[in-house]
Structure 1
Amino acid sequence: MNTCARTARGGRTTPGCSSRSSARRPSARSSTRCAPRRGPTTNRCRPSRRAPSRSPRGAARCADVIALLRLRGLGLLAWAAAFAAAAPVGAQRTARLPVDRVVAVVGIRPILASQLEERLVFKQSQGLQLPTDSAGREAVKREVLRQMVDEELLVQQAERDTAIKVTDQEVQDAVERSVQEVRSHYPSEQEFQNQVRLGFGTVETWRRLLAENQRRQILQQRLLEGLQQKGKLKPIAPSDAQMREYWEANKGQLPKRPAVVSFRQIVITPQPDSAARARALQLADSLLAELRRGADFASVARRFSSDSVSAAQGGELGWFRRGQMVKGFEEAAFSLRPGELSPVVETAFGFHIIQVERVQPAEIQARQILIAPVISVAQVERARHSADSVHHALAAGAAFDALARRYADENEAKLAETVPIAQLPAPYQHLLAADSATGLKPVLQLETGPRPKFAVVEITKRLPEGDLAFDDVKDRIRANLSQDLAVQHYLDLVRRQTYVDIRF
């Protein structure tokens, strides 16, 4: 499997591995992906990281604001379904609406009682259980209203920041993705249309609501990202009591712990010889010259690029931000203006020609042509021999760190902590299925094809499936709460500078 990618969170490219203590979750796809993204030792470069749900107490308000940023069209349609189920269709259209009232004012914008009720219905569609007593219901409403106020505070701050731009095109692109995602959950177009009309009257009305929701999400995301980049949103370490409170509030919602494994490894990658590198560079230089004379980038990428995934798309890499690509590629890409071609850029994956297509605050859309040097059979055998030598040395008691410094691929992490076995790439799963003991394992070939990699793996811990304990998730709780508290601190500062009137 090709490790041309690196994780979107800055870890190293190994099966859910990290050079720090947090483990990454790899994909097991088999297509060759050579865009220089940071990712696991798999062939695809966009691993997801799933965090436990945020606590409804302590840092809850900012946690729910962050959660709101993730809402998509499916959530709105779920709200519509819940709303529609509350009354017959005819009643919805003929019943007289009560006179609305203002329940809060943020700046010069009101929040209406009807908006609060809609948010409550939505939260119920997402699993919120309203208390049966009136005092409990009122407390929930007040908490939801506070969340809506915090969301509005972030939106207004983003709108005041002249550096934050949200274009109509990106909003419509996000709406279209949401519509298609929701549509995929229905067996027919007619059933989909019926559900939308039941909740919103027309598809156009639903799209307008989606567009406004997406615009607000993007504004909040960019505000928080900008604050983080400027160092104005620094994590605040939670206390042990806060972490325990979070655990008690959420432990009943957590799934069982999957079977997990911890290990360390040294991954050895065959390197091209000097002749192969020179040929690849010469080809990259000639292609760059052709592009500068007006050749079509997409056609050249499809014909010559070694990245089979992006090549099929004319070299398209999509949108990415700083920290998602290897350093040399990232520096070159973020220095370009739209339409500009980079010089030939060398990374561990080969030689890249980059063209930026669009630029937004903190992210760019780009495409590439990758020319990877050919790896000879002799170089593959040399890497295999090195892996065998490392294995023998570790078995004889040699220091792991010293061997890693000498032999390990710098794009590969050396440590994986509590990685779910089911999410590991196939070679690791096969190894663990055949051998349940800890300790040093036989040399593992990670990929077949012209550029295999070899891993010397030592299993340090293995746990079967079971209930999660506090110690299993305390690092994730600490990370979640640290971010929550940072956002809460920022919201407290904004609240002091903004007129906020709660009338509920």
Structure 2
Amino acid sequence: MKKLGLSLLNILLILSVAHAQEKRTIDKIAAVVGASVILQSDIELEYAQYLVSGQQPNPAFKCVILQNKLTQKLLAQQAIIDSVTVKDEEVDADIERRMRQFMARAGGQDKLESFLGRSVIQYKDELRPDIREGLIAQRMRQKITEKVNTTPQDVKNYFEAKKDSLSSYNKEVEVGEIVFTPKLNKDEKQFYKEKAEELRARVKKGEDFGNIARSYSQDPGSAVEGGDLGFFDRQTMVKEFTANAFKLKAGEISPVFETEHGFHFLQVIERRGEQVHARHILVVPAITEQSLDRAKKTADSVYTVMKGMKKFDFSNAASVFSDENETKYNGGMLLNLDNEQTRTTHIPTDKLDPQVALITDTMKVGGLSAPQLFTDSRTGKKSFKILYLKSVTDAHKASLEQDFAKLRDDAMADKLNRTVSQWFEKRRKETFIKIDPEYQQCPPLKGWVTTPTTAQVNPQ
């Protein structure tokens, strides 16, 4: 596990102190925005959460926190005027996501509650107003920028204005993969299915679901939380999981069923409209040497056929043979995960999986690699892969002709930032804003203070 800047005990004690500050009869007001106030305890609580995320102590970050809260208040106040809202289900889902992260770091719900000095339910209720306001602010920001777009002329203007300061681009490649995952046959799977059935029988006889999940479930994300997955909708889980979860009533336990992850059974805790709160237990079948051999033989056969063709269609081969859903429907091409908005296939070589980089470094454009055994660094799962090197772009100075797509993304981001900044500049001048002297010297907050004679108090 990654080491944090502070020990978990110290971090959670800080979190508890921050919460205790909220209970004080007198709490310092850090800022006023229209008819809303931001308390010092609000800032301390978020700073504690910043430390929980693994960051090093940095008191100056409180200036950033206050700036974020000021902008959130302005956006939320405008959202009331524009009737921008979020659903309760969205707030619930965000709260559950955060709580899963906190409980995982604390080592379970009991330990988190012990450190906080309150139940998780109480803590969720305390977080809810700020999380709702944050989601509304995000929605309002999206509304402000929804009509922003970029034209080719915008990209050209951006390039001309920035070309002297634009940095060089690193070497980039486009790489495709066909993945062959070892698969167990029916006889090999039976042992693991029976193990899941035995665990389900123990729950049905009255043993605690959470205790069995913590002891036996092989889902690392939920086992520590007693199998609790929080709320999710129909698009969140794989289809087999969704089919079982959405046909059960609260308290019911599903039969054992199989997904690409292994054998599960689940229990529905609560239904809220099109969202389900459930917990599950997962048994993951272990890959056998025989299944690895079968996967390698299939990979070797596909490679031999493709190498024997004068011209192969890699995209079609990936869609037919690859077991990796994340790439097979993208023509087998790997995506640059640092740029999810554009889903570009051009990946800087320093961002490649080291195993992929080592192999493609010796390949020629248009070439295939012989099947190689790969081990996923996160999950430890093994698979055989055939790699395809589609293109190589050497390191170079940015140019309009060669890098139009990247420059278009940069121009769009610049335009979005300017649109939001202009909105805030106008809104700040129209809104009464008062900031405690302790924070007025913060560089991010220069120019934020207004006076009653130049601004109106905005109702909330």
2:77 equivalent to 1:152? yes
Match of 2:204 among 292, 312, 316: 292
Give the match's secondary structure for 2:266.
strand
2:193 equivalent to 1:275? no
Aligned twin of 1:46: none
Give the match's secondary structure for 2:255.
coil
Q: Check conservation: 1:427, 1:445, Cα contact below 8 A.
A: no
Q: Return the letter of the residue paired with 1:238.
A: N
- CA separation in 1, counterparts of 2:355 and 2:191? 32
Aligned twin of 2:178: 266
- CA separation in 2, counterparts of 1:461 and 1:487? 37
Higher RCO, Cα 8 Å, sep 6+: 1
Deviation at 1:343, TM superposition (A): 3.4
- CA separation in 2, counterparts of 1:322 and 1:257? 40
- CA separation in 2, counterparts of 1:501 and 1:478? 30
Q: Check conservation: 1:238, 1:478, Cα contact below 8 A.
A: no
Match of 2:369 among 441, 447, 451: 441
Match of 2:322 among 408, 419, 435: 408
- CA separation in 2, counterparts of 1:266 and 1:466? 30
Deviation at 1:227, TM superposition (A): 12
Q: Check conservation: 1:276, 1:374, Cα contact below 8 A.
A: no
Deviation at 1:443, TM superposition (A): 1.5
- CA separation in 2, counterparts of 1:245 and 1:362? 46
Aligned twin of 1:427: 355
Q: Check conservation: 1:269, 1:452, Cα contact below 8 A.
A: yes
Deviation at 1:453, TM superposition (A): 0.8
Give the match's secondary structure for 2:382.
coil
User: TM-score scaled by structure 1?
Assistant: 0.50
Give the match's secondary structure for 1:346.
strand
Deviation at 1:371, TM superposition (A): 2.0
> Aligned pair in 2 of structure 1 residues 369, 465: CA closer, same or farther (>3 Å)?
farther
Flag structure 1 segments of 5+ consecutive residues without an equivalent.
1-28, 31-72, 78-92, 113-121, 127-143, 181-210
- CA separation in 1, counterparts of 2:257 and 2:201? 14
Count of residue correspondences: 340
> Aligned pair in 2 of structure 1 residues 375, 437: CA closer, same or farther (>3 Å)?
same
Q: Check conservation: 1:343, 1:353, Cα contact below 8 A.
A: yes
- CA separation in 1, counterparts of 2:61 and 2:194? 59
Deviation at 1:394, TM superposition (A): 2.0
- CA separation in 1, counterparts of 2:407 and 2:175? 20
- CA separation in 2, counterparts of 1:325 and 1:349? 11
Q: Return the letter of the residue paired with 1:411.
A: N
Q: Return the letter of the residue paired with 2:322.
A: A
Aligned twin of 1:238: 149
Q: Which aligned pairs between 1:55-454 and structure 2 lie closer than 5 A?
A: 109=35, 149-154=74-79, 163=88, 170=95, 215-221=129-135, 238-240=149-151, 241-242=153-154, 257-307=169-219, 310-311=222-223, 314-317=226-229, 323-333=235-245, 340-355=252-267, 366-397=278-309, 398-409=312-323, 411-413=325-327, 414-416=332-334, 417-433=345-361, 435=362, 437-438=364-365, 439-447=367-375, 452-454=382-384
Give the match's secondary structure for 1:457.
strand
Q: Check conservation: 1:158, 1:220, Cα contact below 8 A.
A: no
> Aligned pair in 2 of structure 1 residues 485, 266: CA closer, same or farther (>3 Å)?
farther
> Aligned pair in 2 of structure 1 residues 161, 403: CA closer, same or farther (>3 Å)?
closer
Aligned twin of 1:456: 386
How large is the Cα RMSD of the aligned pairs? 5.8
- CA separation in 1, counterparts of 2:267 and 2:171? 43
Give the match's secondary structure for 2:174.
strand
Deviation at 1:392, TM superposition (A): 1.8
Deviation at 1:290, TM superposition (A): 2.1
Q: Return the letter of the residue paired with 1:154.
A: A
> Aligned pair in 2 of structure 1 residues 436, 384: CA closer, same or farther (>3 Å)?
closer
Q: Check conservation: 1:261, 1:419, Cα contact below 8 A.
A: yes
Q: Return the letter of the residue paired with 2:382.
A: P
